[in-house]
Each structure stands twice: as C-alpha cells, then as structure tokens.
Copies of this chain bind each other. A is one copy, B any other.
Amino acid sequence: MTATPIRTLPAALDTGMAMVAPALRDTVQHYLCPEMERVAQYHHGWADADGRPTGAWGGKLVRPALALLSARAAGSAPSAGVPAAVAMELVHNFSLLHDDIMDGDTARRGRATAWTLFGVPKAILAGDALLTAATAVLLDSDGAGARSAAVSLMTSTQRMISGQVSDVDFERRDDVTLAECLKMAGDKTGALLSCASSLGADLVGADPMLVGRLGAFGEHVGLAFQLVDDLLGIWGEPERTGKQVGADLRARKKSLPVVKALNAPGSDELAALYFDAEPLTEQQVARVTRLVELAGARDWAEDEAARQIASAQRCLDTAGIEDEVRDDFLEIAAFITGRRF
C-alpha cells in the first residue's frame, strides 16, 4: 500500500523524534524507580516485558513535535523546547496507561497493554509516576517560563480528566446534547493538543499573546481531529487508517455525528435503534449509518472540521511567526487530521 501524499510523515516529526526520544528515555530513567521504569519502557515500546530493548518506538511523538515547534515559534532553538516536548509525551502516556485500565483494553499499538502484563496496581502507579515526572521535568528545566508552563500543563491535564469523566458518563446516558459532546471533545482531545502547541513557547518565556494564539491553534486542531476521527469511526477508511466501517456504531459510541443526529428533529427511529440493549445487527448498523447521514450529521461534521481547520490556520496567520515554523505546524495538523490545510 502506498500512503497518500497527505499522510507522508512530516519532517518535523522526524526532527522531533531524533531530539526528543533520547531525552524522554533519560527522563524516565532519571525520575522513575527501576520497576516503574520497566513498565514505562514497555508501555512506550522501547523494551519488551522483560526489559530487553526492542529497537522500536511506540508513538509518532506528535505532541512533542508540536512542543518543539512552539519553542521555535517564540524564536528559540527547538532544543529549548525539549523539556516541554518530554512533558507532553509523559502526560499523554500517563493518560493512555490509565485509559487502558479504565476501558479494559487488552491491546494497544499491536501489543498487550501494560496492565495485562504487570497487573493493574503497577499500571496505575506507572501512570502516576509519568504524570509526576512530567511536572518535575518542566520545573527542573532552566526555561524562564517553567512555572507558567507547569501550570498550563496541570490546567490542560485537569481538562483532559474532565473530558474522560464525561466520556465515562456518556456511556450510560441517552440525553447527551451536542454542546456537551463538543465540550467533551475539546476537553479530552483539544486541551492536550492546545497545550502541546504552546508549551514550548510558554517554557521559553514567550509573550502570552503568542502562547495564546498557539494554544488556540492546537485547540482547533484537536476538535478537527476528533471530528475526523468520529467520521472515520462511522464511514471508515480501513485501507488507510485501520478504522473499520461502523466500528463506533457497533460500540454505540456517543460520537459527535451520532449525537448531532440524535438531537436533530425526527430522530425517533435512530434513538430506538441506538438505545436498544441488544447488539446491533449488520443491517441495523447500515440503517443507523444511513439515518445519521439523512439527519445531515455527516455533512455537519465535515463542515465543522473544515471550520475548525480554517480557524486553526487563522490563529497561526495572526501569530506573527516565521513562515517555515507556520508551515511545519500546518504539516503536522494536516497529518493528524488527514485534511489539507
């Protein structure tokens, strides 16, 4: 399979990986006790369950790459943003470790999840240790804005937690409004991408106006990403993303297009199918898909994603940053949303 051009790995991700990966490993070794380091190494993909190096890496380090770019946006060398980049990836992985326990997921990135190998207690503690290390690496750095950056990270983490709680609550509710669903997506996905896109600038002590613009860029990218992800969860693109057609419907996820359709006039048939206790048949999945589309929710989600992308772009255009940095930001945004900027 040849990747479509838009999904070509952005150069900024390569740069980020080269700069952040060693720092991330050093940070985990420095702050965590040996047994927690072992769990973290496994979870990140660097090591197998016995601590043997895999020579591989778990994620694409999207958030760290954004953090490095935000240091560049503030006129600093990308290296000045490394502690911010490391902190972002640590918080991201703290949330994944705990998420996998909460959701009972047994696989991530094609490997067994940490809790299935090390037990729930150690996976909880490893998440706690990563969150703790994320704050410490910022505060121990020599960035002029370390304190402000750490506060920003905590605020975003608190929002992310709020989004996760809503996600848990939505599962047992059949009256979720679109406003609630948008807030949840902003908290769960937007908050951390907003933080990642501004944390490097914050850390080097940039003008709060610039930090704000970069944060708003990330917030919009996060919402666009969530909308696209939710579209893929219904209409899929298994050949490109691995997402199966209808996957989110079978799981009865309260995704944005579904909630939009449920709150549209004449949603009785959809609601009856979606809130039924029995598993959906393939015929019913097809009918639900059609009803969501007929309600205009597919078009709405596409349009809304485009609006978020346009807003994200405007944030950068008015941020007064170098063209090259701007283009790198947009390339990563295009990569994670699968949409042209």
Contact = CB atoms under 8 A, between A and B. Distances in A.
A128 B164 CA distance: 11
A35 B154 CA distance: 18
Interface stretch (A134-142, A215-223, A289-297): A134-142
B101 A161 contact: no
Interface in A206-261: none
A125 B32 contact: no
A154 B137 CA distance: 10
A132 interface: yes
A144 to B, nearest CB: 12
A121 B154 CA distance: 20
**Copies of the protein in its oligomer:** 2
Interface in A66-82: none
Contacts of A125: 98, 102, 161, 164-165, 168
A169 interface: yes
A129 interface: yes
Contact of A124 (B36, B101, B140, B157): B101
A316 to B, nearest CB: 28
Interface size class of A (residues with CB under 8 A): 35 or more
Interface in A145-170: 146-147, 150-151, 154-155, 157-158, 161-162, 164-166, 168-169
A262 to B, nearest CB: 22
Nearest to A38: B165
Contacts of A127: 128
B133 A132 contact: no
Contact of A36 (B131, B136, B165): B165
A122 interface: yes
Contacts of A165: 33, 35-36, 122, 125
A98 B128 CA distance: 9
Given A35-B165, A101-B120, A132 B158 contact: yes
A94 B102 CA distance: 17
B102 A124 contact: yes
A31 interface: yes
B168 A154 contact: no
A135 B133 contact: no
Nearest to A95: B128
A158 B40 CA distance: 14
Contacts of A124: 98, 101-102, 124
Contacts of A94: 128
What are the nearest 5 A-B pairs in CB distance? A33-B162, A102-B121, A136-B154, A35-B165, A132-B157
25 contacts: A31-B158, A33-B165, A35-B162, A35-B169, A36-B161, A98-B125, A101-B120, A101-B124, A102-B121, A102-B125, A121-B168, A122-B165, A125-B168, A128-B131, A128-B157, A129-B161, A132-B157, A132-B161, A133-B154, A135-B150, A136-B151, A136-B154, A139-B151, A146-B147, A150-B150
